[in-house]
Amino acid sequence: MSAAAPLADVRVLAVEQFGAGPWATSQLADLGADVIKLEDPASGGDVGRTVPPFAEGEESLFFETFNRGKRSISLDLRTRAGRAAFERLVPHVDAIYCNLRGDQPDRLGLTYDALAPLNPRIVCCSLSGFGRTGPRAAEGAYDHVLQGLAGWMSVTGEPDAPPTRTGLSLVDFAGGYMSALALMAGVWRARRDGVGGDCDTSLHETALALLTYLATWTASAEYMPQRRPESAHPSIVPFQAFRTADGWITVACAKQKFWVALCEALDLADLLADPRFADFAGRDTHRDALLELLRPHFAAETSARLLERLAAARVPSGPVNDVAAALRDPQVLAREDVVSYDHPRFGAVRQIASPLRISGHRPDYRRAPGRGEHTATVLEALAGLTPAEIAQLGAEGAFGAEA
């Protein structure tokens, strides 16, 4: 018999939409948490339901990506009846999660102060653009804007190209991970100490935190980060992309032994005797000269042949794949990193498996819920409401005018 899912005893009520928040709670759902997605009927639910290109009605492959394995209820928290139904659920969940603007948790009563009388162990986790305090607290924020604001775009791309964002919404996704970690830390403390609390996380501070050593160098030593050609590392050489005879590969000589192995693999042992390139500092100082010597050797051979030689020498390296090629990689196939489940509208939906591998647990990959699909079930099973009481709430506008 396999062990229970790691978070099988955790229940989260999520007031979330679009990418960052749903990504956070999808990590919890993959680990077995019961994630109940609260959708606003007045706005048609999560806007992610209609994101193109693969969208039909209120279902999209974008929404599937971020909401598999969850349940959905429709509640209008701005109505008295909707708030009443929400408060009936609060005693039966471990956490309230929201990814609204920083001023919204107070406005909607999604804070510990507002909900502790109903459940003193409740954890209220907010992921907003800028946090719940400060001059930007009431501002919305999107990944693209934050990549510019936090300095990411200034260090991404070729030196003479316009400022460039990363190809993925990494601020959103990293913010989701940060908030999920904060939520679980809050739940652990609540179970240990008997008292819940607030978690105030922000996309802006996540983006700043991910500057890591660049921020440390800049704040401590007035370092001026700059963009390097070929996606090169700011100080380690060679650690970048190289053009080959038929494409591009990446090489990462992050240790001295890899530099030695690279030279031997490319029949460039004479470079090992050159004092300019003897150590990290020398190779950084003489970066341009070194790369002028290396580039022709990469350009003269195919990617496959170079990667074969580098792999034999145990030099960290790899091809620059497109997404389709990335999903066909032998490692991906061996680890079964692409999973599939059936969907009534899209047929077989294939997604990336959870990277959170814990012994004894394999996620139960299930389709994302229809909007409000579980409203009656959740209110009956958790809040103990009768069908007649649920019908009365509906008549009073708890589930929106369309109900």
Catalytic residues: 172
Helix (H, G, I), strand (E, B) or coil at 156: coil
Positive or negative: CA dihedral 38, 42, 47, 52: positive
Q: Where are the alpha helices (DSSP H) in 150-244?
A: 170-193, 203-209, 212-221
Cα–Cα nearest to 85, from 403, 341, 396: 396
Kindly report the backbone phi and psi dihedral angles of residue 301, in degrees, each rounded to the nearest multiple of 5, phi listed first.
Answer: -125, 160
Q: Where are the alpha helices (DSSP H) in 222-334?
A: 256-265, 280-285, 287-299, 303-312, 323-327, 330-334
Q: How many CB atoms lie within 10 A of CB 117?
A: 10
CA distance 36 to 12: 6
Structure-token pair, residue 157: 């791309």
Contact status, residue 39 vs residue 49, Cβ threshold 8 Å: no
Structure-token pair, residue 140: 């919305």
Strands 347-352 and 338-343: antiparallel
Cα–Cα nearest to 393, from 371, 381, 375, 373: 375
Positive or negative: CA dihedral 21, 23, 28, 32: positive
